[in-house]
Amino acid sequence: MNKPLRHVAVFCGILILALLVRTTWVQFVQGDSLDNDAHNSRVKIRQYAQPKGDIIVDGKPITGSVESPSGSYLKYKRVYKNGPMYAPVTGYASQTQGETFLESIYKKPLAGTDNRFSLQRATDFFTGTKPRGADVLTTINAKAQEAAYKGLTDIGARGAVVALDPKTGKVLALASAPSYDPSVFAGESFKESDKFKALGADKSKPLANRALRETYPPGSTFKILTAAAALESGAVTDINAGSGAASPYRLPLSTTTVGSEAGNEVCDKASMKTAMQHSCNNVFLDAASKVGAEKMRETAEKFGFNKDVYDKELGDLLASKSLYPDKLDKPGVALTGMGQGSLTSTPMQMAMVTAALAGDGRLMQPYLVDEVRAPDLSTIEKHHPKEMSKPVSPQTARKVQEMMEFTAKEGSAKRALIDGVTVGGKTGTAQRGVDVNKEVPYGWFVSYAKKGDEPVVAVAVFIDPTAMDISREDISGGKLGAPIAKKVMQAVLD
């Protein structure tokens, strides 16, 4: 071979090698990112080329797929049953807006494009079987979900309800109001896109998942965590002994005093058990001050505060981070004792705190999906309960239970009582805004129910009464939240 031909052959060999390297790089290194690129229309065409798998509640699908109108280049679109009630669970799958929540997390299994289906897809190709996606089986209890959503909508509240199984971490109810129907903008028409824009512009924020993605000051419901921190640290040893905390209580290093709605006569130097019963602020302000910033924050973090939710700490929930701030001054630490100051929490987080205390100090990782099931009914993914932490000892948890159960029997949580069932509860009214007298407060309620000594369900109810026709005096967790919590607990128990 002469020299010019040899140069041409070597050059062609280099080109072929470069082509092979580039093809390998695209196929194996960039494959996933290209496959998920929002501008890759083939992905969307493939995703909607056949009916998706369904999201399942109590054995029944709450989603479906229908053929798109003629002229659409995407063959099928998503539809939802009881869409507004289940929207915080399913999220939405829209041909123009993308996906959220379970529709997003399990997008590939639902669409049947998951790599675990490669053999099934090959078999379907040769047999002519129509492809179909996997089903996602949730942990939701249909009756509890209905009780939660109906409880919020019946009183016209903006708010959220979360119910957990303390023993496993299963999410039994996840409701948010006002809500939306994902079916109305699932397609690609301009009309549907306009409906989505209108929902986004609505000041009542129907697209917001208040149960998972919105944070608020937890108010007096946080007192159950303050009590746990005080008992665990030794700052309080006897829940029946007088606290010595005066009412009204003067904040450390300050001339500002904080009173209690129950009145100074009841709350002055009250025991922690009495303070829980009447929600006396002074005792819990004093307890947080004695525990101190570091121990209060450490205890809160053991219950799930300050966790980065995007590292799968909350499994498939994608909840926003609840915040117990660092570097608080002494007045700031005291205010967190009553759930105020710069403290913020999601309803999911307060449900976790309640579930951990009801479960004798074991915090189970909340999860929303029990199983992912292939079209041939084989299980391709199964969730197993996982312990997140042990925030407090069983002895501490039982003392807090004693106080919460006393509060349900003799205090502000009576509206949650269920005949023949052990119920513990705690009300909460959270002030907000720079001038707390101008802004209507939030209402909170947390509770749990036991059968015998076994905790069955823990509930957190959050109420934003902004849009309600209600006087300021009638805004409280006990009046608004406790009846909802009771119905949710009854639904689970039944």
Whether 142 is in a domain gets the answer no
Whether 353 is in a domain gets the answer yes
Whether 418 is in a domain gets the answer yes
Whether 312 is in a domain gets the answer yes
- Residues whose CB falls within 8 Å of the CB of residue 115, separated by 6 or more in sequence, listed in order: 108
Distance, CA of 36 to CA of 53 (rounded, Å)? 19
- Could you list the beta-strand ranges (E) of 119-241: 135-138, 158-164, 171-177
At 311, the pLDDT band (50, 70, 90 cuts) reads very low
Q: Which residues are catalytic?
A: 220
Bigger pLDDT: 104 or 433? 104
Total-model pTM: 0.89
pLDDT, tens digit (0-9, with 9 covering 90-100), for 120-159: 655 665 555 666 789 999 999 999 999 999 999 999 989 9
pLDDT, tens digit (0-9, with 9 covering 90-100), for 212-262: 999 999 999 999 999 999 999 999 999 999 999 898 999 998 888 888 887
Q: Is the pLDDT of residue 34 over 70?
A: no
Bigger pLDDT: 85 or 441? 85
pLDDT, tens digit (0-9, with 9 covering 90-100), for 180-219: 999 999 988 888 889 999 999 999 999 999 999 999 999 9
For the domain that residue 259 is a member of, what is the CATH number? 3.40.710.10
* 3-state DSSP assignment of residue 281: helix
Whether 104 is in a domain gets the answer no
Q: Is the pLDDT of residue 40 over 80?
A: no
Whether 341 is in a domain gets the answer yes
- Residue 100's pLDDT is 92
Whether the bond between 483 and the residue before it is cis, its omega within 30 degrees of 0, is no
- Residue 148's pLDDT is 98
- Residue 433's pLDDT is 60
Whether 258 is in a domain gets the answer yes
- Residue 71's pLDDT is 65
In this structure, the strands spanning 422-430 and 442-451 are: antiparallel
Q: Are 339 and 223 in contact (CB under 8 A)?
A: yes
> What is the total count of domains within the chain?
1
- Within 263-392, where are the H helices? 264-267, 272-278, 281-291, 293-302, 330-336, 347-358
pLDDT, tens digit (0-9, with 9 covering 90-100), for 62-98: 999 998 886 677 888 999 999 999 999 999 999 999 9
DSSP code at position 366: P
* 3-state DSSP assignment of residue 167: coil
Distance, CA of 112 to CA of 126 (rounded, Å)? 17
- Residues whose CB falls within 8 Å of the CB of residue 406, separated by 6 or more in sequence, listed in order: 273, 276, 277
- Within 322-437, where are the H helices? 330-336, 347-358, 394-410
Ramachandran region of residue 67, left (φ > 0), alpha (ψ -120 to 50) or beta? beta
pLDDT, tens digit (0-9, with 9 covering 90-100), for 323-355: 999 989 999 999 999 999 889 999 999 999 999
- Residue 349's pLDDT is 96
Q: Is the pLDDT of residue 412 over 90?
A: no
pLDDT, tens digit (0-9, with 9 covering 90-100), for 312-323: 555 577 788 999
Smallest Cα–Cα separation from 459: which of 418, 410, 492, 422?
A: 492
pLDDT, tens digit (0-9, with 9 covering 90-100), for 472-491: 555 665 788 999 999 999 99
- Residue 471's pLDDT is 55
Q: What percent of the chain has pLDDT over 90?
A: 64
| Host domain of residue 444 | 219-376+385-493
Task: Give the burial string for 389-417 (b: 16+ CB within 10 Å, else e).
Answer: eebbeeebbebbbebbbbbbeebbbebbb
Whether 266 is in a domain gets the answer yes
Which helix (DSSP H) or strand (DSSP E) does residue 381 occupy?
Answer: strand 379-382
